Amino acid sequence: MGIWIYTLLFLFFGILLVSAFTQKKKVTEKIWLGIAFGILLEMWIPAIFAYFFDFTMKAHIAALLFMLAVTIPVSIRFKDRILEKDAEMETRKWIAALLVLGIPFLICSIWLQYTHMLMPAEDGSYWCGQSTYGDLCMHLSFMTSIKNASFPPDYNLLYGTKLSYPYLVDSLGATFLLFGSSIQMAVAVPGTLLMELTFVGYMMLCKKVLKEKNRAIVVATLLFFLNGGLGFIYDFDMAFRDQFMKIREIFEGFYKTPANQPDFNLRFSNVIADLMVPQRSLLAGWALVLPVFYLLLDAYEHHSLKETVFLAVWAGALPLVHTHTFLALGIFSGGYIIGRLIVDPENRKDILLRSLIYLLIVLAMAAPQLLGGAIRQTVEGGSLRIQFNWVNNSGGRGFIDEYFWFWIKNAGIAFLLVICGILACRKRGRLDIVLGMMSIYAVAEIILFQPNEYDNNKLFYIWYMFAMIIAADYLEMMLVRLQGLPGRNLLFVIFMAVSVCSGSLSLARECISSYQLFSKSAVEAGNWIEENTEKTDVFMTGQQHINPVCSLAGRQIICGSNLYVFFHGLNYRAQEWDCREFYEDPLNHLDTLQKYNVRYIYLSDYEKAEMEVDEEALSESFDVVFQNRDVKIFEVSTQ
């Protein structure tokens, strides 16, 4: 109960502050913006106080008192604005559109979060979905390690390293754990809220651009969230000859969905199944950047200095939520402001002044977050490099597909409408938005920022958000001009069916997917570690990514899976080699235990499969303090 009251208070604070510091908003806008801002506050404020009190209940109480101290005087000062009646009521058609799409997306979110985030089985094991089998363990490691930890937090997957990954969504999960929530609910409840904020936020952004074109808003929303390109063609091709094997594989195979088939150079995965569900930092970034995009358009449209300052503060808080999303926002803002200077020449001085204020506030807030982690890892780690056309030119070895065909089959036939919309953007009054989104596209097409070139999709999908709005706007214009043409509605239905087929199949597969993540033995070991060892105890383990020591118990290990540490741009070879040498010859590498202050040695089937473990030497040299069918834990004497 405590976590619900705590969270609801922060959401209430968010609604009050949004009402005070933004221009007059309708009820739906206030609630959406306020809830999103409240979540941002619940991420940030306890984390700030954790630098003084560690990430403990004391820090959370201090955060709550601070918010009361800020919100009460602000509410008194701006009570007229907070209590003012809305200038206009929302139209019934808009409310209907929100409900028609928002409710099914909410149900889908609840189902995916419940079944994909450590769903407990009767035997005590934990299960997940297809998309979360890889990333979930990493986020669990951050979440469980942050609970009661000192700040800045350590990277518990690599000894001697500070956490530079954008961790605020996981610290939010740690807040739930502190208040007594189960580990499943600590992941699933914030995840569900963030997913629904993303769905509603995208529709709100569409409405901001498309005004009262409700059909176009619905189309853009479906095109974005049910994306998947033309991948279904490869599964349906010659289906009778192979007895529908490829179609059955969609629902039975592991990553055989139409939207994600690297063998056919189909890399633009469905945003719900392959991004929002497994990539929790990206999900939080999307949920919290959509309001910033909305406020950005609103502030420049209404020439509001106060709203510019408010959105700048919000934007400056995003790097530790999700760095790629913050980068995309910065790139879009640059292109959009240039567009505003072109389309609104009479107010250029005002635009430049507000843009300077926006830039200075964002840089002042974001620089400390970026300099200590993301920039250092990208530049010093050698991740920053030039490569044209993303994964279609993998490793710079030449195009796999013809340029435009690559994007048509990956982004769908709506990509053709995007091109048309870009060509007509000046007449349609969309030049500023097109310059903003195409700035993202240009950067993502030329520069890689991570060791994994595929990670540039985190930039492309922000471009795609706006691209589908432009596509829907152009499609709406075509439908109006084709009024009275026989077959017009049939063409529209065919277009939508082709556009969402791959994404719908991919999402359906994700909804029914189920895989065991942590066995009963692993869960028992994780529970024992959490209850019987100290927060600061260091464990020797293998490099398996399914590791209850770091994921379920939040303890420090020497070296985690290279699925994580490599793609985070970290040098882990020394730690990896030290662990292997110890397991294979423990008696001659006892100094390794002192080097890393190891208190416990974890041995499971994963370590035995990964290395030639000398289990006999471990048993003779160290006491077994925990044992079940699959796991042994040895204690290293402190004497």
In 482-572, which ranges are continuous DSSP H helix?
488-512, 520-532, 548-551, 562-565
Give the range among 196-210, 228-242, 356-370 with minimum mean pLDDT.
228-242
257-273 pLDDT, tens per residue? 999 899 899 999 999 99
62-76 burial code (b ≥16 CB/10 A, e <16): bbbeebeeebeebbe
The residue ranges of every structural domain in the chain are: 121-129+219-506, 519-635
* Torsions phi, psi for 161 (to 5 deg): -125, 135
pLDDT-derived band at 357 (thresholds 50, 70, 90) equals very high
Q: Is 80 exceeded by the pLDDT of residue 387?
A: yes
Tell me how far apart the alpha carbons of residues 215 and 203 are, in angstroms, rounded to a whole number.
Answer: 11
> SS3 for 128?
strand
397-429 pLDDT, tens per residue? 999 999 999 999 999 999 999 999 999 999 888
> Six-digit token pair at 258?
């139409």
Tell me how far apart the alpha carbons of residues 230 and 500 are, in angstroms, rounded to a whole number.
Answer: 9
Provide the pLDDT for residue 507: 97
Provide the pLDDT for residue 372: 65
304-315 pLDDT, tens per residue? 888 999 999 999
Provide the pLDDT for residue 78: 82
Q: Is 60 exceeded by the pLDDT of residue 237?
A: yes
If we measure between CA atoms, which residue out of 454, 464, 139, 427 comes closest to residue 332? 464
Provide the pLDDT for residue 86: 54
pLDDT-derived band at 82 (thresholds 50, 70, 90) equals confident
Provide the pLDDT for residue 639: 56
pLDDT-derived band at 243 (thresholds 50, 70, 90) equals low
Q: Is 80 exceeded by the pLDDT of residue 238?
A: no
* First CA to last CA distance, the chain: 44
Provide the pLDDT for residue 376: 55
pLDDT-derived band at 285 (thresholds 50, 70, 90) equals very high
Q: Is 60 exceeded by the pLDDT of residue 362?
A: yes
Share of the chain above pLDDT 90, in %: 82
pLDDT-derived band at 278 (thresholds 50, 70, 90) equals very high
Q: Is 90 exceeded by the pLDDT of residue 225?
A: yes
Q: Is 80 exceeded by the pLDDT of residue 81?
A: no
Cβ-proximal residues to 287 (8 Å cutoff; 6+ apart), any chain:
36, 39, 194, 195, 197, 198, 201
Provide the pLDDT for residue 26: 85
In 78-182, which ranges are continuous DSSP H helix?
79-83, 92-116, 132-146, 168-178
**How high does pLDDT run on average in the chain?**
93
Average pLDDT rounded to a whole number, residues 556-565? 94
Provide the pLDDT for residue 88: 58
Cβ-proximal residues to 401 (8 Å cutoff; 6+ apart), any chain:
265, 392, 409
33-80 pLDDT, tens per residue? 999 999 999 999 999 999 999 999 999 999 999 999 999 999 888 887
Provide the pLDDT for residue 241: 78
Q: Are strands 556-557 and 538-540 parallel, antiparallel or unpaired?
A: parallel
Tell me how far apart the alpha carbons of residues 106 and 112 are, in angstroms, rounded to a whole number.
Answer: 10
Cβ-proximal residues to 142 (8 Å cutoff; 6+ apart), any chain:
153, 156, 163, 165, 167, 170, 171
200-224 pLDDT, tens per residue? 999 999 999 999 899 999 999 999 9
Q: Is 60 exceeded by the pLDDT of residue 377?
A: no
Provide the pLDDT for residue 375: 57
Average pLDDT rounded to a whole number, residues 327-342? 97
pLDDT-derived band at 85 (thresholds 50, 70, 90) equals low
For residue 334, give the H/E element and its range.
Answer: helix 323-343
pLDDT-derived band at 568 (thresholds 50, 70, 90) equals confident
Average pLDDT rounded to a whole number, residues 177-205? 97
Burial of 314 (0-12, 13-18, 19+ CB in 10 A): buried
